[in-house]
Structure 1
Amino acid sequence: MALPIVNSIISWFLKKRIHQIGLFLKYPTDVQEELLLRLTHTARKTEFGTEFQFSSIKNYKDFTDFVPIQKYESVEPLIERCRKGEQNLFWPTHITWFAKSSGTTNAKSKFIPVSDEALEYCHMKAGKDMLCLFINNNEETLLFTGKALRLGGSSDIYEDNNSYFGDLSAIITENLPFWADYSSAPSQEVSLMAEWETKMEAIIDETIHENITSLVGVPSWMLVLLNRVLERTGKDNILEVWPNLEVYFHGGVNFNPYREQYKKLIPKKDFQYYEIYNASEGFFAIQDINLSKELLLMLDYGIFYEFIPMKKYKGENSKTIPLSEVKKDIDYALIITTNSGLWRYLIGDTIRFTSLEPYRIKITGRTKHYINVFGEELNIENVEDALKLACEKTNATIDDYTVGPIFMKDKNSGGHEWIIEFSKKPENMSYFTELLDNALKSINSDYEAKRYNSMALAMPKIHVAKKGLFYNWLKKKDKLGGQHKVPRLSNSRAFVEELLAL
């Protein structure tokens, strides 16, 4: 009887947070305005705060007048000084942790400051809220009678001049309270193993005999782990290994390409999927309703939000709007100001509001991850909606893909070159290509216009990748695990060329 009692106590404790969430649901604009003034007041005596007159900021207009929009390159000199030991540069409390960026698109790594305030009141708080919202929607849950399987990224932590850097998941693991090992798996020791493939085997060793009730991690890498669990155990599906699984908390990449594969791996009608939206820079949104594809924007994590309509996007020279002025069904670039000292920081993500009461969003892509070589303005959402349709009509499933341009040459039209790794290949690739092309035309009028008579854009060219191509490519780049991901769309041929060479 001990486990059900513990489950009830933890559930009761977490649900107390619902009343606080209700506060920012009721007064979203007030909560955000108060937060902005609190952040600028806190940092007014820092070097950044002095330079940009934080002491004179009385409202949002002052903030936008005095403080320019920042990209990483703008703040990198201050961050590098902080990494070498200087303090009170952009945030007043001592910063020793830096989350190293883990994307595949930039050769040069970014080091995102992570303050103690951000760890406690953003990242850790969000982890509790993720559970709180799930429990609030699922009163009969027995989540805490078992353990959560957490699959983090690369877990090397490096020291440099008394500062530490590594993957965000490693930083969070290093700072988890001692009791976290009792409620999650693998152990902290295994979570912090450096070599990815060795760590995968150690995770399986530690977890196949545990009562795992929830999964947490990036869909692409969790899929690799779950398939290896089945190989090791000889079972037909994951429920034969962990029969009490209730929910998978996922984020980092679009879940749609993986959804059908997960349904086969976890054949349980009432199994729940909960999406989260987090990054090295902060934790932003959490799915708050069962079976929803919308995420509740969390407004009390020490992050102030601004937005740039993508139709007026000019990078750092863009005009922003606050939360109170956003509208539904418009793509916005996200700007954040955080309790780690990022000020008006252009994170590079694009989102769309699906609801304004409360503020719920959908992630639509990246400001850089699109193809617009020929004026087609093709974004991630267009591509994944079209792929889903083509897969449904051909009974195909996809593991990974990337798309790059074919540049015009002489009198030849340009085009898009696709490399797709199928877990289940369509019987007729020509038909699949035709379906994909027609779906893109119906979704995106700019693409349709450029495809007219193949004058600017020819029919898509699709290569069927050999099994494991993308995994081996990331392995070659030492980018296995965690938040490392395959770039989906690019205006360059660099990724396509590298993959074709393999």
Structure 2
Amino acid sequence: MKKRIHDIELFIKYPHDVQAELFRKLIDQAKNTDFGKKYDFKSISNYKQYQERVPLHSYEQLFPYIERLMRGEQNVLWPSEVKWFAKSSGTTNARSKFIPVSPEALEDCHYKGGKDLISIYINNYPDSRMFTGKGLAIGGSHQINEFDQNAESYYGDVSAVIMKNLPLWAQLIRTPSLEVALMDKWEEKIEKMAKVTAEENVTTLSGVPTWTILLLQRIMEIKGVDNILEVWPNLEAFFHGAVAFTPYRELFKKLIPSDKMHYWETYNASEGFFGIQDQIGSEELLLMLDYGIFYEFIPFDEIHKEHPKVLSLSEVEIGKNYAMIISTNAGLWRYNIGDTVKFTSVEPYRIKISGRTKHFINAFGEELIIENAESAITWACEQTNAIIDNFTAAPIYFDEGKRGGHEWIIEFRKKPESQEKFNELLDKKLREVNSDYDAKRYQDMALLPPKVHSVAEGTFYKWMEKRGKLGGQNKVPRLSNNREHLDDILEMLAAQA
């Protein structure tokens, strides 16, 4: 672990050298693939040539290559044999996405990220006793790839792909067994996981906050206890990612009432492992630069242009939002992953996840991003002693003689002392953190105050179940520029009433 901390310090000190070397290696390794031949990787000698020659790719544009891989072809995007695909929940678009996971991506990115996470955590907490017990990981499921007639490849949630391929030593220090962890029926899995892990000495948790909460609550019900420390007295850390943790912090404090509990954030996705919190009490993530991923960035105001300006890592600025573009050791070339990040530091390169390129509300020029929404809803909760479980929001479009606005569906674990006050504070904070929203809200001229529906506990769970999106990497879409999700939930509630 100490050796790895030294390696991390090296890429912190020489970020551009590390990325340049990695770029040359990726191009060289893929020069004889079908993709490499199409864009003549052999004659690419620098980043500028790569930028000029290889177009940016969305998932839809890269899918014809991925489909060939899924049907059993090889050497299409990457020279190594690809037998695994990470099935994304499809939050960038309605369909599921299948992301190729090469042996190099598993070993040099996902596993390396997991090992670095532990190394960085132990470096910050040298007295940790996490290895005296087991780590509980809440993962998804996997299945044989039916597109491949020879049935020699598989797909599943990225967590399932990682778990299924873990080395023996890693299997020994985790719980529950793979048989339980990879079950595909989510409700049965939660029940089985709760019963099995309640009897273990669990010292760390890792997973998505929403599904972790469900598991902890079920364990507490089974054991008849008031908090999870009565079951796992040695629990010390929760490694979390996928969604912002801030709105869930108060709820976790109730479930795990200990000042010694540590919350450590990661930024990993189906496409790769990108960032790790490296400082105590920080919400910033160190951008990991030696995982076989070459980074580029599109300024937020260029995202939807036909030919956007694309920046190298050396050109980014602190405080600005960028769409992240990656080229990887799994054959994703100049791939737009759909996330936006904001740099908080460039020495070293640290980021915050600020949203999704397709998850925002901009129906009236307000450019509301997820970071704004989560900041505002967290503050409104703090001021009204509320605890949130989940939320989503969408625009109320202009109608004849009516002004537009934003409509929210919020599921509270603990309702605010005053719903009216909560709504006012939500609006107030949104105006503080987003000047475009504030301008549209001026004297209610373009936008009316937010319309908020407070819904019963379990509403979002039922909706996700209805959509076949329970568990694993699936997440509730926070913001949408259309009313598809919001109207679907409202229709479901009306039918139940």
* Structure 1, gaps ≥5 residues long: 1-13
Is this contact kept in 1: 2:396–2:405, CA < 8 A?
yes
- 1:13-412 superposed matches below 5 A: 14-104=1-91, 106-161=93-148, 162-314=152-304, 317-412=307-402
Tell me the equivalent position of 1:446: 436
Structure 1 residues 155 and 236, CA gap change in structure 2 (3 angstroms): farther
Secondary structure of the corresponding residue to residue 161 of structure 2: helix
Tell me the equivalent position of 1:11: none
Is this contact kept in 2: 1:257–1:384, CA < 8 A?
yes
Kindly provide the amino acid, as one letter, of the partner of residue 99 in structure 2: I
Tell me the equivalent position of 1:477: 467
Q: Identity of counterpart residues, as a percentage?
A: 58
Is this contact kept in 2: 1:147–1:183, CA < 8 A?
yes
Kindly provide the amino acid, as one letter, of the partner of residue 390 in structure 1: A
For 1:92 and 1:374, locate their aligned partners in 2 and report how far apart those are by CA, in whole Å.
46
1:492 aligns with 2:482: yes
Give the C-alpha shift of residue 157 in structure 1. Answer: 4.6
Tell me the equivalent position of 1:8: none
Is this contact kept in 2: 1:70–1:316, CA < 8 A?
no
For 1:149 and 1:415, locate their aligned partners in 2 and report how far apart those are by CA, in whole Å.
42
For 1:194 and 1:386, locate their aligned partners in 2 and report how far apart those are by CA, in whole Å.
35
Is this contact kept in 2: 1:69–1:317, CA < 8 A?
no
Is this contact kept in 2: 1:247–1:274, CA < 8 A?
yes
Secondary structure of the corresponding residue to residue 243 of structure 1: coil
Kindly provide the amino acid, as one letter, of the partner of residue 233 in structure 1: K
Is this contact kept in 1: 2:92–2:358, CA < 8 A?
no
Secondary structure of the corresponding residue to residue 68 of structure 1: coil
For 2:378 and 2:410, locate their aligned partners in 1 and report how far apart those are by CA, in whole Å.
13
Kindly provide the amino acid, as one letter, of the partner of residue 39 in structure 1: L
Is this contact kept in 2: 1:406–1:417, CA < 8 A?
yes
Tell me the equivalent position of 2:495: none
User: 1:163-208: per-residue Cα shift (whole Å, max 9, x none)?
Assistant: 2111111111111112323200011111111111111111112111
Kindly provide the amino acid, as one letter, of the partner of residue 171 in structure 1: V
TM-score by length of 2: 0.96
User: 1:434-460: per-residue Cα shift (whole Å, max 9, x none)?
Assistant: 111111112111111111221211111
User: 1:262-314: per-residue Cα shift (whole Å, max 9, x none)?
Assistant: 11111111211100000000000001111111111111100000011112223
Is this contact kept in 1: 2:90–2:97, CA < 8 A?
no
Kindly provide the amino acid, as one letter, of the partner of residue 121 in structure 1: D
Kindly provide the amino acid, as one letter, of the partner of residue 31 in structure 1: V
Structure 1 residues 17 and 159, CA gap change in structure 2 (3 angstroms): farther
Structure 1 residues 338 and 315, CA gap change in structure 2 (3 angstroms): farther
Give the C-alpha shift of residue 20 in structure 1. Answer: 1.3
Give the C-alpha shift of residue 385 in structure 1. Answer: 1.0
Tell me the equivalent position of 1:4: none
Q: 101-110 or 484-493, which moves further after superposition?
A: 101-110
Paired residues, what number? 489
User: 1:30-66: per-residue Cα shift (whole Å, max 9, x none)?
Assistant: 0000100110011011111111121111111111011
Give the C-alpha shift of residue 107 in structure 1. Answer: 2.8
User: 1:132-177: per-residue Cα shift (whole Å, max 9, x none)?
Assistant: 1001111111111100000012344544423211111111111111
Secondary structure of the corresponding residue to residue 168 of structure 2: coil
Q: 258-267 or 97-106, which moves further after superposition?
A: 97-106
Tell me the equivalent position of 1:9: none
Secondary structure of the corresponding residue to residue 390 of structure 1: helix
For 1:368 and 1:479, locate their aligned partners in 2 and report how far apart those are by CA, in whole Å.
19
Is this contact kept in 2: 1:105–1:487, CA < 8 A?
no
RMSD: 1.2
Secondary structure of the corresponding residue to residue 213 of structure 2: helix
Is this contact kept in 1: 2:299–2:323, CA < 8 A?
yes
For 2:94 and 2:354, locate their aligned partners in 1 and report how far apart those are by CA, in whole Å.
24
For 1:445 and 1:344, locate their aligned partners in 2 and report how far apart those are by CA, in whole Å.
32
For 1:224 and 1:235, locate their aligned partners in 2 and report how far apart those are by CA, in whole Å.
15
Q: 309-318 or 28-37, which moves further after superposition?
A: 309-318
Secondary structure of the corresponding residue to residue 440 of structure 2: helix
4+ residue segments displaced more than 6 Å: none
User: 1:322-354: per-residue Cα shift (whole Å, max 9, x none)?
Assistant: 111111111111000000000000001000111
Give the C-alpha shift of residue 496 in structure 1. Answer: 0.8
Structure 1 residues 102 and 319, CA gap change in structure 2 (3 angstroms): same
